[in-house]
Amino acid sequence: MKIVVANSKGGSGKSTLVLALADMLPYVQVIDLDTQGTITVGACYTKRHLPVSEEEATAKYIIYDTPPYHGEELRSYFDTADLVLIPVKVSYPDLLAVKAVVDDLRAVKMANKGVIVYNEVRKPHNKTYHEVKALLSSNYKDIKKATTELSNLVGFARILAEAVHGQAKQEILSLIKELNILL
């Protein structure tokens, strides 16, 4: 199963979601398409999920981390993906930025593979949270939104230091279950 994690908005939580999923899935390999090399450099310290090349990727689950920009190159990865996860922080700048990745998905007729995953959600929910979610629902009816939301948690913030744990681990397991990722 090929899972591409994408959003051209920098800092939306792509690399965090890639590592958290990789921590919880069996037989997993990660491909780092981002020249920033968050996961490649991170693996030197953590010894977790050292990325492989496309040729070396033979595991049951292959997760792609992608850079904070969009365009032709990324579209070719969407083309063969089973799932495109789009982590989105529930703010107005992030709402506006979603358009680019959704346009890319629609361009390759892969909107049905896209899933928005609300990330770094804080409680109590504020007015912006409700407004942005309503706007995402009305503007992107063709893109699924995961019911499982990822909270603002230290278990995610420390993903480059230690494997996902605590409530963050429970949320990732819930996301994996909801999206039927474990075949």
What x-and-dash track marks residues 115-134 binding ligand ATP by CB under 6 A?
----xx--------------
- H/E stretch holding 139: helix 127-139
Tell me the closest approach of the beta carbon of residue 183 to ligand ATP, in angstroms: 26
Tell me which of ligand ATP, Mg ion, none is bound by residue 8, counting a contact when its beta carbon lies within the kind-specific cut-off of 5 to 8 angstroms.
none
- When the beta carbons of 38 and 119 are compared against Mg ion, the nearer one is 38
Q: What angle do CA 56, 62, 67 make, to 5 degrees?
A: 95
Q: Which stretch binds ligand ATP (CB under 6 A): 14-22, 23-31, 74-82, 139-147?
A: 14-22
Which residues form the interface with Mg ion (CB under 5 A)?
A: 14-15, 38
Angle between helix 38-46 and 14-24 (nearest 10): 50
Give the amino acid at 148: T
Residues contacting ligand ATP: total by CB under 6 A: 18
Q: Which residues pair with 151 in a beta bridge?
A: 121
Q: Which DSSP letter does residue 163 get?
A: -
- When the beta carbons of 102 and 150 are compared against ligand ATP, the nearer one is 150
First to last CA, the chain: 9
Copy the structure tokens of residue 111. Answer: 């909107």
Q: Using the rule CB under 6 A, is 15 a contact of ligand ATP?
A: yes
What's the rounded Cα separation, in Å, for the pair 32 and 39? Answer: 7
Q: Using the rule CB under 6 A, is 29 a contact of ligand ATP?
A: no
Residues that bind ligand ATP (CB under 6 A): 10-16, 34, 36, 38, 68, 119-120, 150, 152-153, 156-157
